[in-house]
Amino acid sequence: MRHGFPLLSGVDLDIAAGTLTLVTGTNGAGKTSLLQLLAGLVPLTSGRAQVAGVDLRSGDRRQLRRRVGWLGHEGSFYDELTVRENLVFAARALSRPVSQVEVVAARVALEGRLDTTTKQLSAGQRRRLGLAWLVLRRPELWLLDEPYASLDDEGRTFFDELLSEVLASGATVVVSAHDPLRSPTLNPIGVHLAGGRVVPT
Amino acid sequence: MKLLSQRLLGPLTLVSLALTVWMGLVVTPPDRTQGDLARLVYVHPAIAWVALYLSFGTATVASILYLWRRTRSLVADQVAHCAMEVSLVFIVLTLITGSIWGRPTWGVWWAWDARLTSSAILGVLAVGYLALRRANDDPTLRARRSAVFAVLSAINVPIIHFSVLWWKTLHQGATVFTANRSLKIHGSMAWTLLLSFVAFTLLFVWLLRARYRLEEQRTVSQTSSLSVALEQRRREGAH
Amino acid sequence: MIRTALLVAGKDLRIERRSRVLLWQVVPFGVIALVLCGLALGPVGVSRATAGPGLFYLVTLLVTLLMITRSHAIERTAGTRSSVATLGLDPAGVFLGKALALAIELWITGLVLLAGSVLLLHTSLHGTVKALPSIIVTLGALAAVGTIYGALTAGDSGAGTLLPVLALPAFAPLLIAGERSFRAALNGGGVWEWWLIVTVALVAYLSAGILLYGVLEES
| Residue A118 belongs to a domain | yes
Q: At what angle do helices C27-40 and C91-121 cross, to 10 degrees?
A: 40
Please indicate whether, in this complex, the C-beta atoms of C79 and A89 are within 8 angstroms of each other.
no
Task: Closest CB to B137: pick one of A2, A6, A194.
Answer: A2
Note the pLDDT tens digit of each residue in A107-157: 888 888 888 888 888 888 888 888 888 888 888 888 888 887 777 787 788
Chain B hits for C169, CB-CB cut-off 8 Å, are 121, 124-125, 128, 153, 156, 160
Task: Show the 3-state SS of chain C.
Answer: CHHHHHHHHHHHHHHHHHHCHHHHHHHHHHHHHHHHHHHHCCCCHHHHHHHHHHHHHHHHHHHHHHHHHHHHHCCCCCCHHHHHHCCCCCHHHHHHHHHHHHHHHHHHHHHHHHHHHHHHHCCCHHHHHHHHHHHHHHHHHHHHHHHHHHHHHCCCCCCCCHHHHHHHHHHHHHHHHHHHHHHHHHHCCCCHHHHHHHHHHHHHHHHHHHHHHHHHHCC
What is the tens place of the pLDDT at every residue in B130-153? 999 988 878 888 899 999 999 999
Task: Return mean pLDDT, chain B.
Answer: 81
Rounded to the nearest angstrom, the minimum Cα separation between C103 and chain B is 20
Contact B227, B221 (CB under 8 A): no
Look at B229 and A196 and tell me if their CB atoms are within 8 Å. Answer: no
How many helices and strands, by DSSP H and E, does chain A display? Answer: 6, 8
- Per residue in B179-189, pLDDT (tens digit) is 444 545 567 77
* Domain membership flag for residue A72: no
Amino acid at the residue C41 = L
- State the Cα–Cα distance between residues A97 and A177, nearest whole angstrom: 33
A43 and A86 in a common domain = no
Residues in C closer than 8 angstroms to A71, CB to CB, are 83
A196 CB neighbours in chain B (<8 A) are 233, 236-237
Which residues in chain C are closer than 8 Å to B170, comparing Cβ atoms? 180, 189-190, 193
Average pLDDT rounded to a whole number, residues A51-70: 78
- Alpha-carbon A150 to chain mean position: 15
C interface mutation test: which of B65, B68, B119, B148 has the most C CBs within 10 A?
B148
Q: Cβ of A62 and C79 within 8 Å?
A: no
B229 close contact with A: CB closer than 8 A? yes
Q: Which residues of C touch A130 (CB under 8 A)?
A: 79, 83
The series of mean pLDDT values per 10 residues for chain C, 219 residues long, is 88 88 89 89 72 90 92 77 78 93 95 91 86 93 94 72 90 90 83 86 93 79
Q: ipTM of this model?
A: 0.87
pLDDT at residue C64 in the model: 94
The pLDDT tens digits of the residues spanning B33-47 come to 777 777 777 888 888
Residue A81 sits at the chain C interface (C-beta within 8 Å): yes
**Which residues of chain A from 127 to 146 reach within 8 Å of chain C, CB to CB?**
130, 133, 137, 139
Domain boundaries, chain B: 20-238
- Residues A132 and A154 placed together within one structural domain of the fold: no
For an interface test with C, the pick among A64, A76, A85 (most C C-beta atoms closer than 10 Å) comes out as A76
B134 touches A at CB < 8 Å: no
Residue A104 lies in a domain: yes
Task: Report pLDDT digits (tens) over B68-122.
Answer: 888 888 889 999 999 999 999 999 998 888 888 877 777 777 777 777 888 888 8
Domain that holds residue A85: 78-138
In B, which residues are within 8 Å of A194 by CB distance? Answer: 236-237, 239
Q: What pLDDT does residue C137 have?
A: 93
pLDDT digits (tens, 9 = 90+) for B199-230: 889 899 899 988 998 988 888 887 787 778 77
Which range, A170-179, B2-11, B29-38, has the best average confidence (pLDDT)? A170-179
Tell me the per-residue pLDDT of A74-87, one tens digit each, with 9 for 90 and over: 666 888 888 899 89
Q: Does A194 contact B237 at a Cβ distance shorter than 8 Å?
A: yes
- Measure CA of the first residue to CA of the last residue in chain A; give whole Å: 26
Residues B114, B118, B120: CA angle, nearest 5 degrees: 120
Enumerate the residues of chain C whose CB falls inside 8 A of the CB of residue A65. 85-86, 88
Report yes or no: C104 at the A interface, CB cutoff 8 Å. Answer: no
Instruction: Let me know whether A144 and A113 are in one domain.
Output: no
Q: What are the domain boundaries of chain C?
A: 2-217
| A1-15, A21-35, A165-179: the lowest-pLDDT one | A1-15
Q: DSSP class of residue A140? A: S
CA distance C149 to chain A (A): 22
Whether A151 and A133 share a structural domain:
no
Q: pLDDT value at position B176?
A: 38
- Of all residues in chain B, the one with the smallest CA distance to C204 is B155
Q: Measure Cα distances from C110 to C16, C74, C138, C175 in Å.
A: 16, 22, 11, 14
Is B222 within 8 Å of A195 when comparing Cβ atoms?
A: no
Q: How many domains does chain A have?
A: 2
User: How far is residue A130's CA from residue A155's CA, in Å, rounded to a whole number?
Assistant: 13
Quote the Cα angle for A34-A37-A42, to 5°: 130
Amino acid C45: pLDDT: 65
Residue type, A138: R
Instruction: For residue B73, list chain A residues with Cβ-Cβ distance below 8 A.
Output: none
Confidence of residue A4 (pLDDT cuts 50, 70, 90): very low
**Å from B129 to nearest chain A CA?**
20
Q: How far apart are CA C107 and CA A35, in angstroms?
A: 42
For the whole prediction, is pTM greater than 0.90? no
Stretch (H or E) spanning A112: none
In B, minimum Cα distance to A58 occurs at B69
Q: What pLDDT does residue C98 have?
A: 94
CA distance B85 to chain A (A): 22
Contact across the interface for B170 and C216, Cβ inside 8 Å: no
Interatomic CA distance for residues C156 and B33, integer angstroms: 53
Contacts of A6 in chain B (CB under 8 A): 226, 229-230, 233
